[in-house]
Structures are given as C-alpha cells and as structure tokens.
Amino acid sequence: MKKLILTATAAAMLVSCGMLKGNSTQTTAPAATATSTLNNSMQAGQNAGVALKALYAQYKLDGKFDSTNLTNVANAMSLLSSIADLPSNYKNKEYIKSFGMGLAAASAGLVTPSNQTSVISNLSNLATQYAAGQQAVANASQQQQTQQQTTTAGLGSALNGISSIASSANSINTLLSLFK
C-alpha cells in the first residue's frame, strides 16, 4: 500500500511539473508562434537601431566607418548579429513591418518612413554579404584542416572570405552615408 501511494504521489508530481503528460498532447497555437516571431523581429529591429545609432554617432565624428576602432567593431558585430535573420525574412511583410518599427523606435530618428525601405534593404544586403564572408572563411579553415587542397588554394579561399568581410565594412560605410 505504501508503495502504491509513493508511486501515485511521484506521478502526480511529474504531471504537475509537466514532465509526464497524459494522453493529451500540447501544441503551440499558430497565433502564439506568429506573435513570438513578430516580437523577435521587433527586438531584432530595436537592437539594430541601437547599434546603428551608435555607429552613426562615431561615423559623424570620423567621417567614415573606422574598422580599427574597437567600439565600432563591437557595434558592427551587434548590428550584424541583430540582422542575421533579415535576409531569410525579407519577403515576409509582417516581419519587415515589425522589424522596421523596432528599428525606427531605437534609432533616435535616423530611420524614418522616408528612408526605412532603403535602410532595411541595405541591412539585408549587409547580412547576406557578411554571412557569405563567414562561410568562405569557415570553408577555407576546413580545407586547411582536412588538407584536401593545397595550402595556396586554402589561403586563397581564406583571403576571399576576409575580403568579403572587409566588404561588409564598406557596406556599413555606405549604409551610414544614407543618413547624411
């Protein structure tokens, strides 16, 4: 009898903690998933707006994007991190609308209704370009590790990746020039 009570108590605790489910299945409602995605896109837009604002403030002082300034590099990495999902969601109007609202709210007036489409397009292109550069560097690293190709070919791939990442700095410069 004691064993039965302990087993029933343990089962009740597992059910109440959600560790043991009965015959019913729990699913996330599509509306909840959509709301979560829109919240994530708004947060990503806000993060991008904060980074963009900081990058632009320094850009105004320097007259260019200075990739040797560690604060700029940190802000650029924050921007790149916050726009990583932008290219894959670029055709999703609700995602872009939510991202744009967050971007405009956090950018302290840099992003306005008149330049928002252009800014988001540039950000999407920047994210695509940066991802391609990262992939090229990763591929070059893998080539060197497995020694499937000569050192020269691996080095060439690494240089292409680094060149692509450096092009991201040029893209950031171009993006910031939209606000002059």
Q: For the ranges 42-51, 109-118, 170-179, which has the lowest average pLDDT?
A: 170-179
| Total count of domains within the chain | 1
pLDDT-derived band at 44 (thresholds 50, 70, 90) equals very high
**Does residue 82 contact residue 65 with C-beta atoms inside 8 Å?**
no
- Summarize pLDDT for 62-97 with one digit per residue, the tens: 999 998 899 998 999 999 999 999 999 999 999 999
Q: Give 153's contacts (C-beta < 8 A, 6+ positions apart).
A: 143
- Highest-scoring range by mean pLDDT, 31-45, 75-89, 159-173: 75-89
| Mean per-residue pLDDT of the chain | 77
Q: Where are the alpha helices (DSSP H) in the chain?
A: 2-17, 30-62, 70-82, 93-106, 116-146, 151-176
The CA-based dihedral angle spanning residues 155, 157, 159, 161, taken in that order and rounded to the nearest 10 degrees: -140
Instruction: Give the pLDDT confidence score for residue 11 in this predicted structure.
Output: 37
Amino acid at 51: A
> Rounded distance, CA 114 to CA 80, Å?
23
Residue 122 lies in a domain: yes
Residue 30 lies in a domain: no
pTM of the model: 0.67
Structure-model confidence comparison of residues 62 and 155, the more confident one: 62
Residues spanned by the domain of 89: 38-179
Residue 1 lies in a domain: no
**Does residue 42 contact residue 101 with C-beta atoms inside 8 Å?**
yes
> Rounded distance, CA 76 to CA 80, Å?
6
- 3 pLDDT above the threshold of 70: no
Residue 11 lies in a domain: no
